[in-house]
Structure 1
Amino acid sequence: MRAGTGADSGSWTEDPYTEALGLGRGPLYLRGHGGWSLTLDVERWCAVADAADMTVLDRCQGTVLDIGCGPGRLVAALGEYGHPSLGIDINAAAVSRTVLRGGRALRRSVFEPLPPPGAWDTALLVDGNVGIGGDPALLLRRVAHLVRPDGLLLVEVAGEDVDERLQVWMENARGTTGTPFPWARLGLAALHRVARVSGWSPVDSWSKDARDFAALRRD
Protein backbone atom coordinates (compact mmCIF):
# COMPACT_ATOMS: atom_id res chain seq x y z
CA MET A 1 0.00 0.00 0.00
CA ARG A 2 1.65 3.18 -1.09
CA ALA A 3 0.17 5.46 -3.75
CA GLY A 4 -3.33 6.72 -4.37
CA THR A 5 -5.02 8.76 -7.03
CA GLY A 6 -4.20 12.35 -7.80
CA ALA A 7 -7.37 13.42 -6.01
CA ASP A 8 -6.19 12.08 -2.66
CA SER A 9 -2.49 12.79 -3.06
CA GLY A 10 -2.36 15.05 -0.01
CA SER A 11 -2.67 12.04 2.25
CA TRP A 12 0.46 10.55 0.75
CA THR A 13 2.66 13.62 0.32
CA GLU A 14 2.36 14.99 3.86
CA ASP A 15 3.25 13.56 7.24
CA PRO A 16 2.95 10.97 8.69
CA TYR A 17 3.59 8.76 5.63
CA THR A 18 6.45 10.84 4.27
CA GLU A 19 7.98 11.04 7.74
CA ALA A 20 7.84 7.25 8.13
CA LEU A 21 9.53 6.75 4.76
CA GLY A 22 12.26 9.17 5.76
CA LEU A 23 12.88 7.24 8.97
CA GLY A 24 12.53 3.89 7.25
CA ARG A 25 10.29 2.61 10.03
CA GLY A 26 6.92 2.94 11.77
CA PRO A 27 4.81 2.66 13.66
CA LEU A 28 2.32 3.83 11.05
CA TYR A 29 -1.35 2.96 10.94
CA LEU A 30 -4.20 3.11 8.47
CA ARG A 31 -7.27 4.17 10.44
CA GLY A 32 -10.93 4.15 9.52
CA HIS A 33 -14.24 5.03 11.09
CA GLY A 34 -15.69 2.79 13.79
CA GLY A 35 -12.29 1.83 15.16
CA TRP A 36 -11.08 0.17 11.96
CA SER A 37 -7.27 -0.03 11.96
CA LEU A 38 -4.46 -1.67 10.00
CA THR A 39 -0.77 -1.57 10.95
CA LEU A 40 1.41 -0.69 7.95
CA ASP A 41 4.69 -2.55 7.45
CA VAL A 42 6.97 0.40 6.73
CA GLU A 43 10.11 -1.51 7.69
CA ARG A 44 9.38 -4.20 5.10
CA TRP A 45 8.61 -1.62 2.42
CA CYS A 46 11.95 0.09 3.05
CA ALA A 47 13.99 -3.14 3.18
CA VAL A 48 15.13 -5.33 0.29
CA ALA A 49 12.69 -7.69 -1.42
CA ASP A 50 11.95 -10.68 0.82
CA ALA A 51 11.07 -14.31 0.08
CA ALA A 52 7.37 -13.54 -0.43
CA ASP A 53 8.24 -10.71 -2.81
CA MET A 54 10.44 -13.09 -4.77
CA THR A 55 7.44 -15.34 -5.49
CA VAL A 56 5.92 -12.33 -7.26
CA LEU A 57 9.10 -11.37 -9.10
CA ASP A 58 9.59 -14.96 -10.27
CA ARG A 59 6.25 -14.70 -12.09
CA CYS A 60 6.96 -11.39 -13.81
CA GLN A 61 7.24 -11.41 -17.58
CA GLY A 62 9.01 -8.87 -19.77
CA THR A 63 8.61 -5.21 -18.91
CA VAL A 64 7.09 -4.46 -15.50
CA LEU A 65 5.09 -1.50 -14.16
CA ASP A 66 5.04 -1.31 -10.34
CA ILE A 67 1.94 0.71 -9.44
CA GLY A 68 2.45 2.45 -6.11
CA CYS A 69 6.13 1.52 -5.94
CA GLY A 70 6.75 3.16 -2.55
CA PRO A 71 10.46 3.24 -1.63
CA GLY A 72 11.30 0.93 -4.52
CA ARG A 73 12.32 -2.46 -3.18
CA LEU A 74 10.55 -4.32 -6.00
CA VAL A 75 11.80 -1.99 -8.75
CA ALA A 76 15.36 -2.44 -7.48
CA ALA A 77 14.99 -6.22 -7.37
CA LEU A 78 13.47 -6.29 -10.86
CA GLY A 79 16.59 -4.59 -12.17
CA GLU A 80 18.66 -7.38 -10.67
CA TYR A 81 16.36 -9.88 -12.40
CA GLY A 82 16.97 -8.15 -15.72
CA HIS A 83 13.41 -6.92 -16.16
CA PRO A 84 13.04 -3.38 -17.59
CA SER A 85 10.75 -1.75 -15.05
CA LEU A 86 9.20 1.52 -13.95
CA GLY A 87 7.80 2.45 -10.57
CA ILE A 88 5.09 5.06 -10.15
CA ASP A 89 4.07 6.71 -6.92
CA ILE A 90 2.51 10.07 -6.07
CA ASN A 91 4.77 10.53 -3.04
CA ALA A 92 7.96 12.45 -3.84
CA ALA A 93 9.93 10.81 -1.03
CA ALA A 94 8.98 7.35 -2.29
CA VAL A 95 10.05 8.20 -5.84
CA SER A 96 13.35 9.65 -4.59
CA ARG A 97 14.13 6.53 -2.56
CA THR A 98 13.37 4.33 -5.57
CA VAL A 99 15.76 6.33 -7.75
CA LEU A 100 18.46 6.24 -5.06
CA ARG A 101 18.18 2.44 -5.13
CA GLY A 102 18.95 2.47 -8.83
CA GLY A 103 15.39 2.10 -10.09
CA ARG A 104 13.39 4.13 -12.60
CA ALA A 105 10.41 5.93 -11.08
CA LEU A 106 7.96 8.70 -11.86
CA ARG A 107 5.88 10.80 -9.51
CA ARG A 108 2.60 9.94 -11.16
CA SER A 109 -0.87 8.59 -10.38
CA VAL A 110 -1.92 5.42 -12.14
CA PHE A 111 -4.87 7.39 -13.51
CA GLU A 112 -2.61 9.96 -15.21
CA PRO A 113 -0.93 9.46 -18.61
CA LEU A 114 1.86 6.89 -18.41
CA PRO A 115 4.49 5.70 -20.87
CA PRO A 116 3.94 3.58 -22.92
CA PRO A 117 0.19 2.82 -22.68
CA GLY A 118 -0.90 -0.65 -23.71
CA ALA A 119 2.64 -2.01 -23.89
CA TRP A 120 3.60 -3.28 -20.42
CA ASP A 121 3.97 -7.04 -20.14
CA THR A 122 3.33 -7.18 -16.39
CA ALA A 123 1.80 -4.83 -13.82
CA LEU A 124 2.10 -5.10 -10.03
CA LEU A 125 -0.40 -4.16 -7.31
CA VAL A 126 1.47 -5.31 -4.21
CA ASP A 127 1.24 -4.25 -0.52
CA GLY A 128 -2.52 -3.70 -0.73
CA ASN A 129 -2.37 -1.39 -3.74
CA VAL A 130 -5.45 -3.00 -5.26
CA GLY A 131 -7.18 -0.57 -2.87
CA ILE A 132 -5.92 2.54 -4.70
CA GLY A 133 -8.76 4.99 -5.24
CA GLY A 134 -11.33 2.94 -3.33
CA ASP A 135 -12.81 1.44 -6.53
CA PRO A 136 -11.02 -1.80 -7.51
CA ALA A 137 -13.10 -2.29 -10.67
CA LEU A 138 -12.14 1.16 -11.94
CA LEU A 139 -8.49 0.50 -11.07
CA LEU A 140 -8.39 -2.88 -12.81
CA ARG A 141 -10.01 -1.45 -15.93
CA ARG A 142 -7.36 1.27 -15.95
CA VAL A 143 -4.55 -1.27 -15.60
CA ALA A 144 -6.07 -3.29 -18.45
CA HIS A 145 -5.41 -0.27 -20.68
CA LEU A 146 -1.77 -0.10 -19.55
CA VAL A 147 -0.71 -3.68 -20.24
CA ARG A 148 -0.52 -5.42 -23.59
CA PRO A 149 -3.19 -7.88 -24.76
CA ASP A 150 -2.76 -11.09 -22.74
CA GLY A 151 -0.66 -9.09 -20.25
CA LEU A 152 -0.22 -10.14 -16.62
CA LEU A 153 -1.33 -8.46 -13.39
CA LEU A 154 0.09 -9.70 -10.07
CA VAL A 155 -1.92 -8.64 -7.03
CA GLU A 156 -1.44 -8.97 -3.29
CA VAL A 157 -4.76 -9.61 -1.56
CA ALA A 158 -5.95 -9.62 2.04
CA GLY A 159 -5.55 -12.94 3.81
CA GLU A 160 -9.16 -12.96 4.97
CA ASP A 161 -12.33 -13.06 2.86
CA VAL A 162 -13.08 -9.32 2.78
CA ASP A 163 -14.56 -6.89 0.28
CA GLU A 164 -14.38 -3.44 1.88
CA ARG A 165 -14.72 0.12 0.61
CA LEU A 166 -13.38 2.55 3.20
CA GLN A 167 -12.58 6.14 4.01
CA VAL A 168 -9.23 6.00 5.78
CA TRP A 169 -6.33 8.15 6.94
CA MET A 170 -2.70 7.72 8.03
CA GLU A 171 -1.78 8.06 11.68
CA ASN A 172 1.50 7.71 13.54
CA ALA A 173 2.24 6.83 17.16
CA ARG A 174 1.97 10.50 18.19
CA GLY A 175 -1.56 10.73 16.82
CA THR A 176 -0.59 12.90 13.83
CA THR A 177 -3.06 12.20 11.04
CA GLY A 178 -3.17 12.75 7.30
CA THR A 179 -6.08 13.77 5.09
CA PRO A 180 -8.80 11.08 4.67
CA PHE A 181 -8.89 9.27 1.34
CA PRO A 182 -10.82 6.37 -0.25
CA TRP A 183 -9.39 2.87 -0.01
CA ALA A 184 -10.47 -0.72 -0.54
CA ARG A 185 -9.48 -4.16 0.75
CA LEU A 186 -10.13 -7.36 -1.19
CA GLY A 187 -9.60 -11.00 -0.36
CA LEU A 188 -9.04 -13.54 -3.11
CA ALA A 189 -12.71 -14.31 -3.81
CA ALA A 190 -13.59 -10.61 -4.02
CA LEU A 191 -10.65 -9.96 -6.34
CA HIS A 192 -11.81 -12.72 -8.67
CA ARG A 193 -15.32 -11.26 -8.77
CA VAL A 194 -14.02 -7.80 -9.61
CA ALA A 195 -11.48 -9.13 -12.12
CA ARG A 196 -14.07 -10.96 -14.20
CA VAL A 197 -16.08 -7.78 -14.80
CA SER A 198 -12.98 -5.62 -15.37
CA GLY A 199 -11.24 -7.33 -18.27
CA TRP A 200 -9.20 -9.96 -16.41
CA SER A 201 -9.21 -13.73 -15.92
CA PRO A 202 -7.78 -15.36 -12.76
CA VAL A 203 -4.94 -17.74 -13.61
CA ASP A 204 -3.12 -18.47 -10.34
CA SER A 205 -3.06 -17.83 -6.59
CA TRP A 206 -0.49 -18.63 -3.91
CA SER A 207 0.67 -17.80 -0.39
CA LYS A 208 4.08 -17.21 1.16
CA ASP A 209 5.00 -16.14 4.70
CA ALA A 210 1.42 -15.20 5.63
CA ARG A 211 0.98 -13.07 2.50
CA ASP A 212 -1.47 -13.93 -0.27
CA PHE A 213 -1.25 -13.24 -3.99
CA ALA A 214 -3.10 -13.75 -7.24
CA ALA A 215 -2.22 -13.62 -10.93
CA LEU A 216 -4.67 -12.25 -13.50
CA ARG A 217 -4.41 -12.37 -17.27
CA ARG A 218 -5.85 -9.61 -19.42
CA ASP A 219 -8.77 -10.86 -21.52
Structure 2
Amino acid sequence: MWHGEYRDPRLVEVSDAERIWGWEHDFFMRVLADRVTPRVLDLGCGTGRLAVAMAADGHEVTAVDPAPASLAAARRRSGAARVRWIEGSYEVLPAQSFDAAFMTGHVVQHLSDQEWTGALKALRDALVTDGRLIFDGQDPSGRPWAHWGRESTERPIVLADGSTVWAWTERSEPDGDVVPVAHHYRFEDGLELTSTATLRFRDETELRGALRAAGFRVDQVYGGWSREPPGLGPDGELIVIAVAEPRMLP
Protein backbone atom coordinates (compact mmCIF):
# COMPACT_ATOMS: atom_id res chain seq x y z
CA MET A 1 0.00 0.00 0.00
CA TRP A 2 1.16 3.48 -0.86
CA HIS A 3 0.33 5.57 2.25
CA GLY A 4 0.64 8.77 0.23
CA GLU A 5 -0.11 11.03 3.20
CA TYR A 6 3.38 10.20 4.45
CA ARG A 7 5.34 9.78 1.20
CA ASP A 8 4.07 12.30 -1.37
CA PRO A 9 5.10 15.89 -0.50
CA ARG A 10 1.76 17.24 -1.77
CA LEU A 11 -0.24 14.87 0.41
CA VAL A 12 2.09 15.38 3.37
CA GLU A 13 1.19 19.08 3.19
CA VAL A 14 -2.52 18.24 3.03
CA SER A 15 -2.31 15.83 5.96
CA ASP A 16 -0.35 18.28 8.08
CA ALA A 17 -2.86 21.06 7.34
CA GLU A 18 -5.74 18.87 8.49
CA ARG A 19 -4.15 17.30 11.56
CA ILE A 20 -3.74 20.40 13.66
CA TRP A 21 -2.99 20.38 17.39
CA GLY A 22 -5.91 18.73 19.18
CA TRP A 23 -7.14 17.00 22.32
CA GLU A 24 -4.92 14.00 21.63
CA HIS A 25 -1.76 16.11 21.64
CA ASP A 26 -2.74 17.69 24.96
CA PHE A 27 -3.35 14.20 26.34
CA PHE A 28 0.08 12.92 25.31
CA MET A 29 1.80 15.98 26.75
CA ARG A 30 -0.01 15.44 30.07
CA VAL A 31 1.00 11.77 30.14
CA LEU A 32 4.59 12.77 29.44
CA ALA A 33 4.48 15.13 32.41
CA ASP A 34 3.14 12.43 34.77
CA ARG A 35 6.66 11.11 35.39
CA VAL A 36 10.25 12.26 35.06
CA THR A 37 10.99 11.26 31.48
CA PRO A 38 14.24 12.75 30.16
CA ARG A 39 14.67 10.63 27.01
CA VAL A 40 11.69 10.23 24.70
CA LEU A 41 11.11 8.29 21.48
CA ASP A 42 8.44 9.29 18.96
CA LEU A 43 8.12 6.29 16.62
CA GLY A 44 6.19 7.07 13.44
CA CYS A 45 6.57 10.78 14.13
CA GLY A 46 5.13 11.96 10.80
CA THR A 47 5.60 15.69 10.35
CA GLY A 48 6.89 16.06 13.90
CA ARG A 49 4.29 18.27 15.57
CA LEU A 50 4.32 16.30 18.83
CA ALA A 51 8.07 15.63 18.79
CA VAL A 52 8.87 19.34 18.53
CA ALA A 53 6.46 20.15 21.36
CA MET A 54 8.02 17.53 23.63
CA ALA A 55 11.50 18.85 22.87
CA ALA A 56 10.36 22.41 23.59
CA ASP A 57 9.33 21.17 27.06
CA GLY A 58 12.91 20.14 27.73
CA HIS A 59 12.90 16.45 26.81
CA GLU A 60 15.64 14.80 24.77
CA VAL A 61 13.54 13.62 21.82
CA THR A 62 14.41 11.12 19.11
CA ALA A 63 11.84 11.04 16.30
CA VAL A 64 11.80 8.13 13.84
CA ASP A 65 9.81 7.75 10.63
CA PRO A 66 10.30 5.69 7.45
CA ALA A 67 8.93 8.37 5.09
CA PRO A 68 11.46 10.94 3.75
CA ALA A 69 8.72 13.42 2.74
CA SER A 70 7.27 13.46 6.25
CA LEU A 71 10.68 13.91 7.83
CA ALA A 72 11.51 16.74 5.44
CA ALA A 73 8.37 18.56 6.60
CA ALA A 74 9.25 17.81 10.23
CA ARG A 75 12.73 19.25 9.87
CA ARG A 76 11.24 22.51 8.54
CA ARG A 77 9.23 23.11 11.71
CA SER A 78 10.21 25.88 14.05
CA GLY A 79 12.11 24.26 16.91
CA ALA A 80 13.01 21.16 14.87
CA ALA A 81 16.72 21.59 15.64
CA ARG A 82 16.05 20.40 19.20
CA VAL A 83 14.95 16.97 17.92
CA ARG A 84 17.11 14.11 16.67
CA TRP A 85 15.44 12.94 13.43
CA ILE A 86 16.05 9.42 12.09
CA GLU A 87 14.77 7.94 8.85
CA GLY A 88 13.77 4.34 9.49
CA SER A 89 11.42 2.24 11.59
CA TYR A 90 11.58 0.08 14.69
CA GLU A 91 14.58 -1.81 13.30
CA VAL A 92 16.87 1.18 13.93
CA LEU A 93 16.05 1.75 17.61
CA PRO A 94 19.04 1.71 19.97
CA ALA A 95 18.80 -0.56 23.01
CA GLN A 96 18.06 0.72 26.52
CA SER A 97 17.98 4.34 25.34
CA PHE A 98 14.55 5.76 26.26
CA ASP A 99 12.42 6.43 29.31
CA ALA A 100 9.21 6.70 27.26
CA ALA A 101 8.13 5.79 23.73
CA PHE A 102 5.13 7.16 21.86
CA MET A 103 3.29 5.85 18.80
CA THR A 104 0.50 8.31 18.06
CA GLY A 105 -1.91 9.12 15.26
CA HIS A 106 -3.16 5.51 15.07
CA VAL A 107 0.21 4.35 13.76
CA VAL A 108 -0.44 0.86 15.15
CA GLN A 109 -3.32 0.37 12.70
CA HIS A 110 -0.88 0.60 9.79
CA LEU A 111 1.23 -2.32 11.06
CA SER A 112 0.71 -5.89 9.91
CA ASP A 113 0.69 -8.59 12.58
CA GLN A 114 4.33 -9.41 11.83
CA GLU A 115 5.32 -5.74 12.00
CA TRP A 116 3.35 -5.26 15.22
CA THR A 117 5.16 -8.15 16.91
CA GLY A 118 8.52 -6.86 15.69
CA ALA A 119 7.77 -3.31 16.79
CA LEU A 120 6.81 -4.36 20.32
CA LYS A 121 9.97 -6.43 20.71
CA ALA A 122 12.12 -3.56 19.45
CA LEU A 123 10.36 -1.07 21.70
CA ARG A 124 10.87 -3.25 24.76
CA ASP A 125 14.57 -3.48 23.90
CA ALA A 126 14.75 0.30 23.37
CA LEU A 127 13.12 1.19 26.70
CA VAL A 128 14.76 1.03 30.10
CA THR A 129 13.08 -1.13 32.73
CA ASP A 130 9.93 0.67 33.95
CA GLY A 131 9.99 2.86 30.85
CA ARG A 132 6.56 3.59 29.39
CA LEU A 133 5.05 2.82 26.00
CA ILE A 134 2.10 5.04 25.04
CA PHE A 135 0.03 4.53 21.89
CA ASP A 136 -3.46 4.95 20.48
CA GLY A 137 -5.76 3.14 18.07
CA GLN A 138 -9.43 3.10 17.25
CA ASP A 139 -11.59 0.65 19.18
CA PRO A 140 -12.87 -1.99 16.73
CA SER A 141 -15.87 -2.74 18.93
CA GLY A 142 -17.44 0.46 17.61
CA ARG A 143 -16.76 -0.53 13.96
CA PRO A 144 -15.48 2.96 13.07
CA TRP A 145 -15.16 1.96 9.43
CA ALA A 146 -18.86 1.12 9.05
CA HIS A 147 -19.85 4.53 7.70
CA TRP A 148 -16.70 5.42 5.79
CA GLY A 149 -17.74 6.65 2.36
CA ARG A 150 -17.73 9.79 0.30
CA GLU A 151 -21.04 11.12 1.59
CA SER A 152 -20.02 10.92 5.24
CA THR A 153 -16.33 11.82 4.98
CA GLU A 154 -15.98 14.45 2.23
CA ARG A 155 -14.55 17.67 3.64
CA PRO A 156 -12.51 20.73 2.58
CA ILE A 157 -8.92 21.14 3.79
CA VAL A 158 -7.39 24.62 3.56
CA LEU A 159 -3.66 24.66 2.85
CA ALA A 160 -1.12 27.25 4.03
CA ASP A 161 -1.35 29.10 0.69
CA GLY A 162 -5.12 29.49 1.07
CA SER A 163 -6.07 26.91 -1.55
CA THR A 164 -8.60 24.20 -0.76
CA VAL A 165 -8.31 20.46 -1.23
CA TRP A 166 -11.42 18.29 -1.09
CA ALA A 167 -10.82 14.93 0.60
CA TRP A 168 -12.88 11.83 1.29
CA THR A 169 -12.38 8.21 2.33
CA GLU A 170 -13.87 5.02 0.91
CA ARG A 171 -13.39 1.49 2.15
CA SER A 172 -13.58 -1.96 0.64
CA GLU A 173 -15.26 -4.92 2.30
CA PRO A 174 -13.55 -5.65 5.64
CA ASP A 175 -12.03 -9.05 6.34
CA GLY A 176 -12.74 -9.26 10.05
CA ASP A 177 -10.78 -6.41 11.61
CA VAL A 178 -8.67 -5.81 8.48
CA VAL A 179 -10.06 -2.93 6.43
CA PRO A 180 -8.71 -1.75 3.04
CA VAL A 181 -9.23 1.99 2.57
CA ALA A 182 -8.63 4.58 -0.15
CA HIS A 183 -8.21 8.28 0.65
CA HIS A 184 -9.05 10.59 -2.24
CA TYR A 185 -7.83 14.18 -2.72
CA ARG A 186 -8.95 16.71 -5.33
CA PHE A 187 -6.89 19.90 -5.69
CA GLU A 188 -8.11 23.24 -7.03
CA ASP A 189 -6.12 22.79 -10.24
CA GLY A 190 -7.98 19.55 -10.98
CA LEU A 191 -5.26 17.20 -9.81
CA GLU A 192 -6.66 14.10 -8.10
CA LEU A 193 -4.53 11.80 -5.96
CA THR A 194 -5.45 8.59 -4.16
CA SER A 195 -3.68 7.04 -1.20
CA THR A 196 -4.37 3.43 -0.24
CA ALA A 197 -3.84 1.56 3.01
CA THR A 198 -4.87 -1.60 4.81
CA LEU A 199 -5.79 -0.94 8.42
CA ARG A 200 -5.55 -3.63 11.09
CA PHE A 201 -7.78 -3.00 14.11
CA ARG A 202 -6.91 -4.72 17.41
CA ASP A 203 -9.23 -4.98 20.40
CA GLU A 204 -8.21 -4.53 24.02
CA THR A 205 -7.79 -8.25 24.69
CA GLU A 206 -5.48 -8.64 21.70
CA LEU A 207 -3.45 -5.58 22.66
CA ARG A 208 -3.00 -6.79 26.21
CA GLY A 209 -1.88 -10.23 25.07
CA ALA A 210 0.67 -8.88 22.60
CA LEU A 211 2.10 -6.46 25.14
CA ARG A 212 2.42 -9.16 27.79
CA ALA A 213 4.20 -11.47 25.33
CA ALA A 214 6.66 -8.66 24.46
CA GLY A 215 7.58 -7.96 28.08
CA PHE A 216 5.19 -5.15 29.01
CA ARG A 217 2.71 -4.70 31.83
CA VAL A 218 -0.41 -2.74 30.91
CA ASP A 219 -0.85 0.16 33.30
CA GLN A 220 -3.88 1.92 31.83
CA VAL A 221 -6.27 1.61 28.91
CA TYR A 222 -8.50 4.57 28.14
CA GLY A 223 -11.37 4.95 25.71
CA GLY A 224 -10.98 8.68 25.13
CA TRP A 225 -8.85 11.76 25.58
CA SER A 226 -10.49 12.64 28.90
CA ARG A 227 -9.35 9.26 30.29
CA GLU A 228 -12.74 7.59 30.05
CA PRO A 229 -12.85 3.78 30.32
CA PRO A 230 -12.96 1.89 27.01
CA GLY A 231 -16.39 1.86 25.43
CA LEU A 232 -17.52 5.05 27.15
CA GLY A 233 -17.52 8.54 25.71
CA PRO A 234 -17.56 9.75 22.13
CA ASP A 235 -13.93 9.25 21.09
CA GLY A 236 -13.96 5.51 20.35
CA GLU A 237 -10.27 5.08 21.13
CA LEU A 238 -8.06 2.52 22.81
CA ILE A 239 -5.25 4.54 24.38
CA VAL A 240 -2.71 2.33 26.09
CA ILE A 241 -0.02 3.08 28.65
CA ALA A 242 2.23 0.06 29.22
CA VAL A 243 5.35 -0.37 31.36
CA ALA A 244 8.49 -2.29 30.40
CA GLU A 245 8.92 -5.20 32.79
CA PRO A 246 12.34 -6.27 34.14
CA ARG A 247 14.13 -8.76 31.92
CA MET A 248 14.07 -12.36 33.11
CA LEU A 249 17.51 -13.77 33.85
CA PRO A 250 18.47 -16.85 31.80
- The interval holding the TM-score normalised by the smaller chain is 0.7 to 0.9
What's the TM-score once normalised by structure 1's chain length?
Answer: 0.72
Pairwise CA distance, 1:164? 6.2
Pairwise CA distance, 1:93? 1.7
For residues 8 and 204 of structure 2, what CA distance do their matches in structure 1 show? 27
Question: Structure 1, residues 126-180: CA drift from partner, whole Å, max 9, x if none?
Answer: 1111234312233211211111122110010213337966474653235744576
Q: 1:19 to 1:59 in 2, by over 3 A?
A: same
Q: Which amino acid in structure 1 is aligned with residue 24 of structure 2?
A: A
Structure 1 residue aligned with 2:211: 195
**Equivalent of residue 14 in structure 2, options 23, 38, 46:** 23
Listed as ranges, the matches of 1:142-157 within 5 Å are 142-157=122-137
1:173 aligns with 2:199: no
Q: Which amino acid in structure 1 is aligned with residue 243 of structure 2?
A: R
Q: Which amino acid in structure 1 is aligned with residue 217 of structure 2?
A: S
**Equivalent of residue 140 in structure 1, options 96, 102, 120:** 120
Structure 2 residue aligned with 1:43: 18
Q: 1:21 to 1:218 in 2, by over 3 A?
A: same
What's the TM-score once normalised by structure 2's chain length?
Answer: 0.64
Structure 2 residue aligned with 1:128: 106
1:90 aligns with 2:66: yes
Higher RCO (Cα < 8 Å, 6 or more apart): 1
Structure 1 residue aligned with 2:96: 118
Q: Which amino acid in structure 2 is aligned with residue 218 of structure 1?
A: A
State the aligned residue count: 188
For residues 184 and 165 of structure 1, what CA distance do their matches in structure 2 show? 6
Greater Rg over alpha carbons, structure: 2
> Contact between 1:16 and 1:177, CA under 8 Å: does it hold in 2?
no
The secondary structure found in structure 2 opposite 1:197 is: helix
For residues 109 and 44 of structure 2, what CA distance do their matches in structure 1 show? 11
**Equivalent of residue 31 in structure 2, options 59, 62, 74:** 59
Structure 1 residue aligned with 2:54: 78
Q: 1:14 to 1:83 in 2, by over 3 A?
A: closer
For residues 192 and 87 of structure 1, what CA distance do their matches in structure 2 show? 25
The secondary structure found in structure 2 opposite 1:192 is: helix
- The CA RMSD measured in Å over matched residues stands at 2.9
